[in-house]
Amino acid sequence: MCGRFTQSKSLGEYQQRFGFSAGPPGYAPRFNLAPGQEALAVLAGEEGRRAEMLRWGLVPSWAKEERMGYKMINARAETVADKPAYRGPFRRTRCLIPADGFFEWAAAQGGKQPYFLARKDREPFALAGLWDQWSGPGGQKLRSFTILTTQANQVVKPIHERMPVMLRPVDEAAWLETETTPENLAKLLKPYAAQDMEAYTVSQRVNSPVNEGPEIIEPVAVTGTLFG
């Protein structure tokens, strides 16, 4: 699964990397993004890519209650085309979620140990996302997203059996393109190349979403872990 990730770059860096127009107000770099919080998302528009702040936890357009989104932070790649909450967005409203890394937890002495996982070169990448718009009973509009997950690669597998779908740069345009067939979309939802990734232990400060800052992703030496 994917329950935390980072968007630690400046808006300008993401704009250059993902090619969207003017960025949304309210964006600030984040080192400990958690479900229920807003994150930067890149959407396809009539005049090119655009960026918006969307809430993490998909609330389907047909949902009766907003709280449904708390159960919809991840969508499994294997079933996304069939599940009622995801099949519509999978066909029509896909998005890129810029990220620099994500966190997973593994069993260790004294409890679960958090790990930070990222590209070795620390370059940003796109998580495969779906978004939808929900209208509340009072007329309020909410746009929200979910992150797709797939089987873990050899870097992630010792920590967790699943990982978020990290799209290859060459596949990002196809993911956003409305004409891409479901069959071709499914081919994009695969584990990222393990040789391009690394994992290391970080402080348990990441366990609380109130903690923020670059120290969240600093490596710490821990004994009794999978890799220590």
Nearest to 189 by CA among 161, 160, 162, 157: 162
Residue length of the chain: 228
Q: Are 11 and 28 in contact (CB under 8 A)?
A: no
177 belongs to the catalytic site: no
**Using an 8 Å Cβ cutoff, are 216 and 205 in contact?**
yes
User: Helix or strand or coil: residue 97?
Assistant: strand
Per annotation, catalytic residue among 38, 52, 95, 104: 104
Strand 48-56 relative to strand 141-151, pairing: parallel
CB 99 within 8 A of CB 7: yes
Question: How many other C-beta atoms lie within 10 A of the C-beta of residue 15?
Answer: 19
Q: Which two tokens stand for residue 98?
A: 């810029």
Q: Decide: 200 and 115 in contact? Cβ < 8 Å.
A: yes
Q: Please confirm, yes or no, whether 172 is among the known catalytic residues.
A: no
Contacts for 91 with CB less than 8 Å, ≥ 6 apart:
182
Rounded to whole angstroms, the Cα distance separating 111 from 206 reads 14
Out of 2, 52, 95, 172, which one is annotated catalytic? Answer: 2
Read off φ and ψ for residue 16, nearest 5 degrees: -70, -40
Please give the positions annotated as active site: 2, 104
